[in-house]
Amino acid sequence: MTAGTDVAGTTTSAGDAPAILHAEGVTKRFGGLVAVRNVSFDIPEGSIVSLIGPNGAGKTTFFNVIAGLIDPSEGFISFLGERMVARSVRAWAEPFFWLAPSVVAAVVGIGLGSVGSRVGLDVAVLAAVLLLIVSLLTAIVRPPWYVRLLIRAGVFRSAKPNEVVNRGISRTFQNIRLFQNMTALENVLVGMHSRMRANLIDSAFRLRRHRREETEMREEGRRWLAYVGLEGRDDALARNLPYGDQRRLEIARALASHPRLLLLDEPTAGMNPVETSHMTALFGQIRSELGITILLIEHDMRVVMGVSDRVTVLDHGETIAEGTPEVVRANPLVIEAYLGKGAAS
Amino acid sequence: MTSMLASNPTIREARSFLRRHQSLSILISVGIIAALLPIVATVPPFSGFGNQRDFVGGFADAGVFVLLALGLNVVVGLAGLLDLGYAAFFAIGAYTFAYSASGYTGLDVPFWPMLLVGAFVAAMFGILLGAPTLRLRGDYLAIVTLGFGEIVPVVFLNASAFTNGTNGITGISQPNLYGLFGIHGFGFTNPWLYYFTVFGIIMLTTMILYRLQDSRIGRAWVAIREDELAAASMGINTVTTKLLAFAIGASTSGLAGVFYASKLATVTPDQFGFTVSFTALSMVVLGGMGNIWGVSVGAFVIYEIQSQGLKQLNNLVQTARLPTLHLGPVTIDWATINFLNYQYLLYGLALVLMMLLRPEGLFPSRRRREELHEVDIEPSEIEPSEIGPGALGGEP
Amino acid sequence: MKAIRLGALAMGSVLAFSACSSAATPSPSASGSAAPSSAASGGGLAVKIGIELPMSGGEAPNGVPAANGVALALSQIQVPGFTITINQQDDAVNGVHNANQGAKNMQTLANDPSTLFVVGPYNSNVAQAEIPVSNAAGLMQCSPANTAVSLTKGAAAVALRATNPSQIAYVRVATTDDNQGAGGADIAYNLVGAHSAYVLDDTQTYGVGLVAGFTAAFKALGGTIVGSASPPDTTTDFTSYVTTIQGLNPPYVFFGGVTTSGLGLFRKQMAQQGIANIPFGGGDGISDGSAATTSTFLNIAGPAGDVSTYSTVAAIHDIPNPTAFSSAYKAMFNTDPGGYSAPAYACAQVFLQALKAVGTGVTDLATLRSKIRAYVADPANKYDTVLGTVGFDANGDTTQHTISYYKFDPTTKDWAFVKQRDFVADPIPGLATTP
Amino acid sequence: MTAATVSPSRSRQALGRWKLPIGVVIALVVAYALLYGGVIYQSHVLSIPTTAAKALDQAQQQMINALTIGAIYALIALGYTMVYGIIELINFAHGDVFMCGSFVSWWLLTTLGFSGAISNPVLLTVVLILAFAVSMVVMGVVGVVIERVAYRPLRNAPRLAPLITAIGVSFILQNIVFVVVSNSLINSPQILPNPIIRFGPISIREINLFVIVLAVALMIALQAFITRTRLGRAMRSTAIDREAAQLMGVDINTTIALTFFIGSALAGAAGVVQGLYFGITVFNIGFQAGLKAFTAAVLGGIGNTTGAALGGFVIGYLEVLSSVYGYGQWSEAAVFGTLVLVLVFRPTGILGQQTADRA
């Protein structure tokens, strides 16, 4: 099929349960090295799916593909039935769309100038500048019609991280990436950024929308902090929080954007068993109370077995097993991948 | 330690009070300063350096640089983008007013609305420059803005059909109050009117910038500065947000440009060289990046040192008739030293020493101090090819 | 004007020396300028003469010798009943002339009631910023150096005098670029006999104005401009321009600009590419001293500044008693006069004569200031100065429209006077000259 | 690994072993054609008839001009790109290192009492070698000192800090020369004689030939050093991943210092060339030259030495081209306009790996 339809085409989930996220043959190469090879799987709505595998299995790479940090080399990921992430097609062509209008104006201007119309020249020059500004802004704000125009022209640009968030996916990081010098509350407020509507004018002149929003959001922010067990730490700088609390704060920050799918990248890494069990409990809570679907990355199998409905095992970038925790645990390939050859027997 | 402060109830009280009545407190404090400065100028030793009117005129010019520093602070201090072509927007603002209120075009648009128009036009050009380049790695911005700062004067110089070339535009009209307080045109001889005008502008700018600083947008700026990737993953459109910072910085610069043009009544391309950008940057850095009060004071102090301090130092040294030093081959005859020549040397040294010894500036903002003194490598913004298997600290 | 960075010399005899020789130690002379003058004249009403010139950084060589000229005048000429001291201002910021600083200085001078007259500025764009101030304050200023036409003539000049359109508060003893350009054209067409020329400007006010003047006059004479280029003043690589010229092989090349814009370098590169034989002409921006002095045009052009290199100076050559001035100057500042020492001296003489004429008995400084302005602005008055007899026309331009021609002399490695021409008495036919 | 790496092999990877030379040849032909067009255009505009032979001659001379100035930019650009490659810092002071280099050679040659061309070939060679050796070593040391004093303490500070320091250093260097040495143009001895050399149809002046050959030789030497020697490998590995290199026993500080030494030495060499070719120097040539050189580095793909060299020639060519078409006063605008366009359409530069910047 042509690039256009390919790009425009959406997909229905392969699975029987309604899939919130569907990955199809996702492959990512770095130079010669293949980090993820032809991974396809579904995340049913309202479930907790775990992606496990030993170090170097390509979990994080796959994760970053979903989060919009990396374009896949092949395959695509669709969210809520809409193609979200895929290899960009003819991305280089996009700048031409910004320049085209102003170039036309400029040419017209030169034409007018050459026939001696000074006023025409001035107007055209002005028009060229304005058009350029407008089209640049359009290219950055990317209104739907602009995207549709691009798709019709066969240009597809994979979603950027912030667009992924706006579609309802938020994440945490394996190595904590809080805003170290902001307070806990400010971190959560940043998490709410995509939901806040106050614009420059509102904030500059403290209009009602700004005031209302600020008070509401600060209130809600405190609730989120309380939800993950950080009540009263609003004004603590993130960098001064203990390790476990930083992990919790990251989750609060992720929840603050009201996601439908939450991506957790080794959320229990470096925690002691007690903290780990609390954390695991929190996942169940989030799913049951907030109805948020969770994709969990772990290489510690014991952590995931408790909470997961489905487990997918990656090794050397390939899916080697998929199914319920019990099935996966029994799978000799998995045991081999974790414990090395011969361990299965 | 800061968290301790933060948790200390009285200080929190004070903070929240200031937050609630921030604008009011800004109005009052700026007003007090504006009232005090001319008085300070009349007491020794300052009174010896010149009469009050001269000082007031100097303060009005210092105000222009305070505005420049305030705007640049949004770009460099809050959003962490290095803009080295800042003077370009200053020039654009100035020429905008020159076009709309001079004999060159025959138009005579009043000064006050043009403040906004100039700011708007400058912002537009900020977007024009920022949009294509802000998508790129931060360092590219530094060099592109530097290039832009070089181009704009070149354009004003060479596009003589539109700009009257190297002679620039003269006979730009002054602000006018149309009889309000019995004042009509500001004229050239009375510095007081300009002084109060520029302080009024500074007052409003400061207020707006403070409000932006602790709004959704301000938080986004800081977030981007701290960890661009994380910010993006929290749903912040880094490009638009950076562009916004860039545009606001530019507009403040344009505002200053309009005032400058109407005070000076003439604009020529060679008034907007790299030296202006560099001076503004020094002011922001020395004042304390990210701290609105800090950069304002920094800008004011540096400007006064430049326009008064060094001259007085010259007079002092030359009247003191210090003995000539003979350090082996080197002979220092104090009378021959013109400290005005050492100005850039001093700026350069100041920048380096500041960064090495006190990166948060003379008047640091709390956050910046925290940030600039951390020794651990902060998570650098993600590089394209950095995203390898297990980038972001993933497995190799 | 940005012009004449290192100075056009008013006297052939002093021509050999350059303002640059005092570049090494700007401030002693700067500070020294105040000392002797205050010591100079006897008791009486204390009045000041303002000096508004670039005194620091790379521009010290421009401003300092001129300031010294004023100081010399005050030390030599007394006005009974007045104690005259100097109010010194510097319009250089970070070592570069700065219009805003100039305007500020002008306000400072205007705010000082005892300042009756100002000598300066040096650069055209500074003058643009100052003229509105001096015009509003009714404080007469006399520029020793500005040659940009637009400062005194045309719509732009009227715009500068917006506050009191009728009142002239700015005069200059240097003649304007159109005359100097005419001089350059006269050399090219009549002396060299070139009937077509290639012109370049350094994109700066002075260079552009000079080339405009040259072009107009050269065409009026019947010559044709075969081509033109505008290398920016930051250019160091002129090779491509030289190659282009090589291809066109014009009989004459005229470059409007100053040595610091790279004119010497351009001439050097012409020689490097083997076209030094094409005659080369410029304005007073390049007659800044002999090849023996560092950083002068001839010094940088090197051997290339050969027999066929010409320059003009926007000032009269045959002035009364040239050596007296230079020796007096040398005696006072133990350095040779700069290009603008004499014109600045002349400005001071204008003030002193005006003071003599209208000052007697007047004690109110404000009245005195306005009387002096009115006296100097009056075209009827003539002044006997170091430059000879000088007067100012209705626009404030000097009535001395004499341009001196100089030619490189390989034996002395210096400029040699060729002839001078007064473009009012003896205008180029068919060319509308000033006034 | 970072996009910025000193390795030339990646560019070959990206282009294929033979694409680069072929591309260069094609580019040269196109460039030549454009210049020829320019000459014709000019003679048309000025309505001065010219012969094809004359125009070709002109175009050739302009090509040589472009290559010569380009070579100087390229030499400076190499320093920028190396430093950026290894510590991701725009070393704004680099342009002023170049300026200082020109002053060092000026000082040396004048103190040795040379003013004009040296006819005796032996003496000439000796003096040239001396001049380059001294200037390169001195500037190399200066570069190392700058790194040690101004940049190393900030290696782990936020990106902005060293950038600002670099600007500060740039102004310090510039103004030390301004205050101490000279505040105006000064003559620098041109010791090379300047005859025209002919290779069949091509005629070129000795100075131009010298500059181009020298620059290319230095670049090849640099490549060899980076790819063949142990230290070169250390530099590359540091550029790719500092921590990993450290683990592998590479002494980071020495390696970075070495990078600064080489980069600054090349700038020093460029300084000598500037003196020999133009015969002048002044305290502020560093700013413009540095700006253009950095543009060249970005143009070629920052961190990529081959790219930097290429970028240098492109910038030089653009300047010449704009003057050939009679728009010399726009040359700067042309240069930076090109920079912006390249950054928009190919952010990684001509030879950089094709990767869009995210986040």
User: Residue D358: which of A69, A92, A95 has the nearest Cβ?
Assistant: A69
The answer to whether the CB atoms of D358 and A95 lie below 8 A apart is no
Considering only residues 102 to 141 of chain B, which have any Cβ-Cβ distance to chain C shorter than 8 Å? Answer: 102-104
The pLDDT tens digits of the residues spanning D314-331 come to 999 999 999 999 888 899
Residue numbers in A near D359 (CB within 8 A): 69, 160-161
Q: What is the CATH topology of the domain spanning C8-176+318-391?
A: Rossmann fold (3.40.50)
Q: Which residue, B356, B390, B86, is CA-closest to B246?
A: B86
Q: Which two tokens stand for residue C204?
A: 């700066």
What's the pLDDT score for residue C307?
A: 57
What's the pLDDT score for residue B133?
A: 80
Which of A29, A85, A92, A102 would best serve as a mutation to test chain D binding (most D beta carbons within 10 A)? Answer: A92
The answer to whether the CB atoms of A88 and D356 lie below 8 A apart is yes
What's the pLDDT score for residue D355?
A: 39
- Whether B138 and chain D come into contact, CB under 8 Å, resolves to yes
Neighbours of C110 (CB within 10 A): 23
Q: Do chains D and B touch (3 or more CB pairs under 8 A)?
A: yes
ipTM rounded to 2 decimals: 0.86
- The pLDDT-based confidence of C382 (bands split at 50, 70, 90) is very high
User: Residue B219: which of A55, A190, A202 has the nearest Cβ?
Assistant: A190
User: Residue C94: which of B57, B271, B275 has the nearest Cβ?
Assistant: B275
> Do the domain assignments include residue D8?
no
Q: Domain range for residue D281?
A: 19-358
The pLDDT tens digits of the residues spanning D115-164 come to 888 888 899 999 999 999 999 999 999 999 999 999 999 988 887 888 88
Which of D1, D344, D353, D354 would best serve as a mutation to test chain A binding (most A beta carbons within 10 A)? Answer: D344
Mean pLDDT of C277-299: 85
The pLDDT tens digits of the residues spanning A8-52 come to 333 433 445 578 999 999 999 887 788 899 999 899 998 999 998
Mean pLDDT of B243-263: 95
What's the pLDDT score for residue C19?
A: 32
Furthest-apart CA atoms within chain A: distance in Å: 90
Class of domain C177-313+402-422: alpha beta
The answer to whether the CB atoms of C235 and D328 lie below 8 A apart is yes
The set of residues, in sequence order, having a beta carbon less than 8 Å from that of B25 and lying 6+ positions away, is: B18
The set of residues, in sequence order, having a beta carbon less than 8 Å from that of B394 and lying 6+ positions away, is: A59, A60, A61, A174
Q: Which residue, A88, A72, A89, is CA-closest to A23?
A: A72
User: Which domains are present in chain B?
Assistant: 21-272 (1.10.3470)
- Whether C92 and chain B come into contact, CB under 8 Å, resolves to yes
User: Residue B157: which of C93, C133, C203 has the nearest Cβ?
Assistant: C203
Which of D64, D65, D203, D281 would best serve as a mutation to test chain C binding (most C beta carbons within 10 A)? Answer: D65
- Whether A145 and chain D come into contact, CB under 8 Å, resolves to no
The answer to whether the CB atoms of D345 and A95 lie below 8 A apart is yes
The pLDDT tens digits of the residues spanning B314-341 come to 778 877 777 777 776 667 777 677 777 7
Q: Name the helix (H) or strand (E) containing A217.
A: helix A208-227
The pLDDT tens digits of the residues spanning D5-45 come to 444 445 445 556 677 788 888 988 999 999 999 888 888 88
Give yes or no for residue C241 having a pLDDT over 90.
Answer: yes
- The pLDDT-based confidence of C306 (bands split at 50, 70, 90) is low
Give yes or no for residue B375 having a pLDDT over 50.
Answer: no
The answer to whether the CB atoms of D328 and C239 lie below 8 A apart is no
Please give the residue that has the higher pLDDT: either B42 or D288.
D288
- Whether A205 and chain D come into contact, CB under 8 Å, resolves to no
Q: Which residue, D191, D341, A191, D325, is CA-closest to B219?
A: A191
CA distance A332 to chain D (A): 35
CATH code for the domain of D265: 1.10.3470
Considering only residues 34 to 63 of chain B, which have any Cβ-Cβ distance to chain D shorter than 8 Å? Answer: none
Residue numbers in D near C229 (CB within 8 A): 323, 326, 328
Residue numbers in B near D159 (CB within 8 A): 80, 138-139, 380
Q: Using alpha carbons, list the distances in angstroms from residue D261 to C428, D96, D135, D227, D274.
A: 62, 15, 12, 17, 20
> Do the domain assignments include residue D2?
no
Which of B224, B228, B229, B234 would best serve as a mutation to test chain A binding (most A beta carbons within 10 A)? Answer: B234
Give yes or no for residue A343 having a pLDDT over 80.
Answer: no
* Chain A nearest-CA residue for D353: A31
Give yes or no for residue A138 having a pLDDT over 50.
Answer: yes
Mean pLDDT of D212-236: 91
The set of residues, in sequence order, having a beta carbon less than 8 Å from that of C183 and lying 6+ positions away, is: C312, C403, C404, C405, C421, C423
- Whether A103 and chain D come into contact, CB under 8 Å, resolves to no
The pLDDT tens digits of the residues spanning B172-212 come to 888 988 877 877 778 888 889 999 999 999 999 999 999 99
The set of residues, in sequence order, having a beta carbon less than 8 Å from that of B67 and lying 6+ positions away, is: B198, B201, B202, B205, B252, B253, B255, B256, B259
Please give the residue that has the higher pLDDT: either C91 or B387.
C91
Q: Using alpha carbons, list the distances in angstroms from residue C315 to A192, C191, D132.
A: 74, 19, 46
What's the pLDDT score for residue B377?
A: 36
* Chain D nearest-CA residue for B374: D157
- Whether B348 and chain C come into contact, CB under 8 Å, resolves to no
* Chain B nearest-CA residue for A205: B208
CA distance B232 to chain D (A): 6
The answer to whether the CB atoms of A213 and B7 lie below 8 A apart is no
Is residue B28 classed exposed, middle or buried when 0-12, 13-18 and 19+ CB atoms within 10 A define those classes? exposed
The pLDDT tens digits of the residues spanning B44-99 come to 777 777 778 888 988 999 999 999 999 999 999 999 898 989 999 999 999 999 99
What's the pLDDT score for residue B369?
A: 63
Partners for A (CB, 8 Å, 3+ pairs)? B, D
- The pLDDT-based confidence of C373 (bands split at 50, 70, 90) is very high
User: SS3 sequence, chain B?
Assistant: CHHHHHHCHHHHHHHHHHHHCHHHHHHHHHHHHHHHHHHHCCCCCHHHHCCHHHHHHHHHHHHHHHHHHHHHHHHHHHCCCCCCCHHHHHHHHHHHHHHHEECCCCCECCHHHHHHHHHHHHHHHHHHHHHHHCCCCHHHHHHHHHHHHHHHHHHHHHCHHHHCHHHCEECECCCECCCHHHCCECCCCCHHHHHHHHHHHHHHHHHHHHHHHCCHHHHHHHHHHHCHHHHHHCCCCHHHHHHHHHHHHHHHHHHHHHHHHHHHCEECHHHCCHHHHHHHHHHHHHHCCCCHHHHHHHHHHHHHHHHHHHHHHHHHHHHHCCCCEEECCEEECHHHCCHHHHHHHHHHHHHHHHHHHCCCCCCCCHHHHHHHHCCCCCCCCCCHHHCCCCCCCCCC
- Whether B338 and chain C come into contact, CB under 8 Å, resolves to yes
The set of residues, in sequence order, having a beta carbon less than 8 Å from that of D138 and lying 6+ positions away, is: D101, D104, D268
Please give the residue that has the higher pLDDT: either D268 or D355.
D268
Q: Which residue, D64, D91, D338, is CA-closest to D205?
A: D64
* Chain B nearest-CA residue for C165: B171
Is residue D356 classed exposed, middle or buried when 0-12, 13-18 and 19+ CB atoms within 10 A define those classes? middle
Residues of C with CB under 8 A from a CB of D: 6, 20, 23, 57-58, 60-61, 95, 203, 226-227, 229-232, 234-237, 239-241, 243-244, 246-248, 259-260, 262, 264-265, 268-269, 272-274, 294-295, 299-300, 302-303
The answer to whether the CB atoms of D358 and B384 lie below 8 A apart is yes
User: Residue C128: which of B50, B189, B268 has the nearest Cβ?
Assistant: B268
Domain chopping of chain C, boundaries: 8-176+318-391, 177-313+402-422
How many domains, chain D?
Answer: 1
The most confident of A61-75, A329-343, B112-126, B343-357, by mean pLDDT: B112-126
* Chain B nearest-CA residue for D165: B352
The answer to whether the CB atoms of C159 and B171 lie below 8 A apart is yes
Mean pLDDT of D41-70: 88
The answer to whether the CB atoms of D323 and C240 lie below 8 A apart is yes
Q: Do chains B and C touch (3 or more CB pairs under 8 A)?
A: yes
- The pLDDT-based confidence of B371 (bands split at 50, 70, 90) is low
The answer to whether the CB atoms of B268 and C125 lie below 8 A apart is yes
Give yes or no for residue C37 having a pLDDT over 80.
Answer: no
Partners for C (CB, 8 Å, 3+ pairs)? B, D
User: Residue B265: which of C28, C132, C155 has the nearest Cβ?
Assistant: C132
User: Which residues are registered as beta bridge partners of B101?
Assistant: B108
User: Residue A206: which of B211, B229, B243 has the nearest Cβ?
Assistant: B211
Contact present, D186 and D280 (Cβ < 8 Å): yes
Partners for B (CB, 8 Å, 3+ pairs)? A, C, D
> Do the domain assignments include residue D10?
no
Q: Running DSSP on this structure, what letter comes out for residue A16? A: S
Which of B156, B172, B174, B268 would best serve as a mutation to test chain C binding (most C beta carbons within 10 A)? Answer: B268
* Chain D nearest-CA residue for A93: D345
Mean pLDDT of B370-382: 46
Mean predicted lDDT score pLDDT of chain C? 83
Mean predicted lDDT score pLDDT of chain D? 87
CA triple C218-C224-C227, angle to 5 deg:
110
Neighbours of C145 (CB within 10 A): 30
The answer to whether the CB atoms of A236 and B374 lie below 8 A apart is no
- Whether C147 and chain B come into contact, CB under 8 Å, resolves to no
- The pLDDT-based confidence of C158 (bands split at 50, 70, 90) is confident
